A = this chain, B = another copy of it.
Amino acid sequence: MDRPRHQGMARNTNMRWRLPLVCLLWEAAMIVLFGVFVRFGAEADAHWEEEKREMNLTSDMENDFYFRYPSFQDVHVMIFVGFGFLMTFLKRYGFGAVGFNFLLAAFGIQWALLMQGWFHSFKDGKILIGVENLINADFCVGSVCIAFGAILGKTSPIQLLVMTLFQVTLFSVNEYILLNLLHVKDAGGSMTIHTFGAYFGLTVTRVLYRPNLEQSKDKQGSVYHSDLFAMIGTLYLWMYWPSFNSAISDHGDAQHRSAINTYCSLAACVLTTMAFSSMLQKKGKLDMVHIQNATLAGGVAVGTSAEMMLTPYGSLIVGSISGIVSTVGYVYFTPFLESRLHIQDTCGIHNLHAMPGLIGGIVGAITAAAATEDVYGKEGFIKAFDFTGVYQTRTPSIQGGFQAAGIVVSLLMAFAGGAIVGGILKLPIWGDAAAENCFEDDIYWEVPEDEESDVYHMHNPAKAASP
């Protein structure tokens, strides 16, 4: 623990005052802002009894809580266990993966409740929150977890908090532009969460390019059990993705349909991932990196279209393609991005979120443009795309165009935002580690000593006695 380390000249990674200061000041700010702005929405307020009477609701079951809470909990697991454990694959960075993800997400959901609240739930000077706000806050933070994947192991916790602050802000602006100004559908967030989050993170890691990162190359791999820990993350993301894509869809058939489409897409994605993982290796062996990540691309790629009438076979096609694209990305694109474009992408979010996110946006645009009253039914058509009020005259093809515009806007926001935030994070005040200390928990965490010898002694008392 106390051994000297080559930490470069001016690197001071001691977080003792900086991290507490940021955490405590920001939490205090949250308390003040929540105090001024945030109140319970009608369905969570004790006045609900009267509300119910006014709205002629005969059952407590009509409370949105019962429509969305199970999906909320699944999404919650994806953000904290899913993303957290997916990133534990690094042999020496498990604490950082799970712990920093925990930290940034816990801060991010508070800030997201405010930012998204101002845009979407603001009424008479107050933000009125309910279970849907909790889901949306988790979604917003999901985009930060994605970006975290690109810079995993190379940043200090303060940098992560700073990035979270800005990214949540930009996410909310981008989301407002897409959902409210462009009137785009994106329930599972192919554009708002994945495309935006991934290209934002890739831009940040490009700006933070570390030319000497090969100094910590020995720590960039996995060990046997760290790969199994990562599979916990993978499987929870995979299993609960149907909840993710359906969590904020309209009640009834839309939620039901989203879950089915996502289930189908993910199932297909596993098979094409396995196929290409084996095919692209000389000896035909499967690579855990692909299984841990590319199997999830099918969930990303139906994020926009899952609540539409994509149909089960459409979902299989999208899932199959995204598994292939993602696996090929890990084998060919990631090395290219690193060597040629100087984009060091620790978890390969370009393959898991960026490309499948783009696919998702495009599939969404096509599916929307191809919608007909015949397929959706007259009422279902209007409901599915919310063609009411000022949007009464929108046609499917126009909607498709706006969906495509949503992709472009998300990309622009991601590049511009990522460049600015990357520049801020490059300031030499945040306490990030030197290149040779990247991917190492020991910098920011108390790490238990002597794992080996301990376990060893445990079952070999004889040797323990005579070391």
> Is A15 interfacial (CB 8 A cutoff)?
yes
Q: In the complex, what distance in Å separates the CA atom of A256 from the CA atom of B271?
A: 36
Contact A30 B376 (CB under 8 A): no
> Which residues of the partner chain B approach A3 to less than 8 Å between Cβ atoms?
461-462
A145 sits at the interface (CB 8 A): no
Interface string of A149-188 (1 = CB under 8 A from B): 0000000010000000000000000000000000000000
- CB pair B110 A268 closer than 8 Å: yes
Q: How far is the CA of A65 from the CA of B250 in the complex (A)?
A: 12
Per-residue contact bits, chain A 367-398, to B (CB 8 Å; 1 contact, 0 not) = 00000000111111101100000000000000
* CB of A432 within 8 Å of the partner chain: no
Residue of B nearest to A102 (CB): B270
Which residues of chain B are near A282, meaning CB under 8 Å?
Answer: 16
A23 part of interface (Cβ distance < 8 Å): yes
Binary contact track A90-109/B, C-beta < 8 Å → 1, others 0: 01101100110011001101
Min CB distance A127 to B, Å, is 9
Assess the B450–A459 pair: CB atoms within 8 A. yes
Residues of B within 8 A of A231 (CB): 84, 98-99
Establish whether residues B23 and A274, one from each chain, have CB atoms under 8 Å apart when the complex forms. yes
Q: How far is the CA of A260 from the CA of B74 in the complex (A)?
A: 16
Q: Which residue of B lies closest to A243 (CB)?
A: B73
Residue from A40, A80, A221, A238 with most neighbouring chain B CB atoms (10 Å) = A40
User: Does A62 make an interface contact (CB < 8 A)?
Assistant: yes
Instruction: Choose, from A31-39, A200-208, A356-364, A412-420, the stretch at the interface.
Output: A31-39
**Which residues of B have CB within 8 Å of A381?**
46
Check: A45 CB closer than 8 A to any chain B CB: yes
Q: CA separation between A99 and B242, bound complex, in Å?
A: 20
Give the nearest-CB partner of A381 in chain B.
Answer: B46
Q: Tell me the bound Cα distance from A64 to B255 in angstroms.
A: 11
A429 sits at the interface (CB 8 A): no
Cα-based distance from A61 to B256 in the complex (angstroms): 11
Tell yes or no: A213 within 8 A of B by CB: no
In the complex, are the beta carbons of A134 and B377 less than 8 A apart? no
A312 at the interface (CB under 8 A from B): yes
Checking B134, B288, B448, B451 against A263 with a beta-carbon cut-off of 8 angstroms, the contacting residue is B134
Cβ contact within 8 Å between A131 and B259: yes
Task: State the oligomeric state as a number of copies.
Answer: 3
- A449 neighbours in B (Cβ, 8 Å): 459
Closest to A97 in B: B228
A409 to chain B, nearest CB (A): 27
Q: Which residue of B lies closest to A45 (CB)?
A: B253
A27-B272, A106-B270, A448-B227 are known contacts. Are A256 and B73 too (CB-CB below 8 A)?
no
**Bound form: Cα–Cα A130–B258 in Å:** 11
Q: Are B253 and A27 in contact (CB under 8 A)?
A: no
Q: Which residue of B lies closest to A307 (CB)?
A: B46
| A15 in complex: contacting residue of B14, B92, B284, B376, CB < 8 Å | B284
Q: CB-nearest residue of chain B relative to A451? A: B223
Q: How far is the CA of A103 from the CA of B238 in the complex (A)?
A: 12
Interface: A129 (CB within 8 A)? yes
**B253 & A313 in contact (Cβ 8 Å cutoff):** no
Choose among B238, B264, B271 the residue that contacts A107 (Cβ–Cβ < 8 A).
B271
Q: What are 12 A-B contacts with C-beta separation under 8 Å?
A: A20-B279, A43-B253, A49-B377, A50-B378, A91-B454, A91-B455, A94-B227, A223-B454, A225-B451, A448-B459, A449-B459, A452-B452
Q: Which 10 A-B pairs have the closest CB atoms?
A: A16-B284, A46-B380, A48-B253, A106-B270, A34-B313, A23-B275, A60-B252, A60-B251, A20-B275, A46-B376
Known A40-B309, A102-B270, A451-B456; 20 more pairs at CB < 8 Å: A16-B279, A27-B271, A34-B313, A39-B312, A40-B257, A45-B380, A48-B252, A49-B379, A63-B253, A73-B243, A76-B239, A80-B238, A85-B232, A102-B235, A113-B312, A131-B256, A157-B274, A225-B229, A287-B445, A452-B460
